[in-house]
Amino acid sequence: MGKKMQKRKLGNSNLEVSTLGLGCMGMSFSYGPPGDKHEMIALIRKAVELGVSFFDTAEVYGAFTNEELVGEALAPFREEVVIATKFGFKIQDGKQAGLNSRPEHIKKVAEASLKRLKIEVIDLFYQHRVDPGVPIEDVAGAVKELIQEGKVKHFGLSEAGVHTIRRAHAVQPVTALQSEYSLWTRQPEAEVLPALEELGIGFVPFSPLGKGFLTGKMNENTRFDSTDFRNILPRFTPEALKANQSLVDLLGKVAVKKNATPAQIALAWLLAQKPWIVPIPGTTKLNRLQENIGAAAIELTPDDLREIESASLKIKVEGARYPENIERMTGL
């Protein structure tokens, strides 16, 4: 594999991570049946070997099983890796059951996550979704105390708006925001990215491949396993998959020129937006892991970026990200 992957810093925090991280959620739930545990451990360890040093999990993935998996897989490499996990949901009977970011709950989650991950300190602790029932100052204050106690190193937010980010950052500097961002989900560009730049906060796009769509491996005939949450997403109806195909065609055109794949161009496009953006594509397959990591070496020229930009502006993405009833509540 020749040279190790480059590193990037998440904002002004000096938290240095590999240019691409690994999202581990899909190894335990949401995209069809969970992967075989031994295979998933081998995959995570292979990622370390290939230069990935940034791993993303959450208590709600599984629930709980994903943190245990990540903890076991990364135990031999603790000094070399950055582990991010999340709080903010109420979990009942192993399922997500609404939001809970009350300070005492955050503290309990931190203790439980430390045990499951088998670590002494959580490198990056995100609020998984903004809880309208708890002032963000109280959330930031609780994490600040955990940082003072040495149980957490960095504070993050997920899917938060600019007003929330500013209020949190005033109490405890926010190291990273994790939100959905890709060529087919570009909402963060309007207000969020400029605010992050101003405040010196890093950005971690989840679903950087559009939950798999931007790999070019799906079309209107694609069917998902009954346990796959994409079945309920408006963007994954056959009509939307068909309508959105032109975005993949565009990536395919650029990919041919660059001797790359559509997925690699989608990731390289994200990396080219800002030097403090670190996407976390997830996968359960070794060949996809290697393909994603290959994106870090692809240089898109200003001309390539202009071509992608002008063509993508003409494409209207069909379908909402989530059904309206779960837009606020989902940690997927």
Residues known to be catalytic: 61
Gap between the Cα atoms of 212 and 241, Å rounded: 11
DSSP structure string for 169-214: HHHS-EEEEEEE-BTTB-GGGTTHHHHHHHHT-EEEEESTTTTTGG
Gap between the Cα atoms of 22 and 24, Å rounded: 6
Taking CB atoms within 8 Å and a gap of at least 24, the contacts of 209-213 are 209/182, 209/263, 209/266, 209/267, 209/281, 209/292, 210/182, 210/183, 210/184, 210/185, 210/235, 210/266, 211/31, 211/235, 211/236, 212/31, 213/184, 213/241, 213/244, 213/248
Dihedral sign, CA of 23, 29, 34, 36? positive
Gap between the Cα atoms of 77 and 217, Å rounded: 33
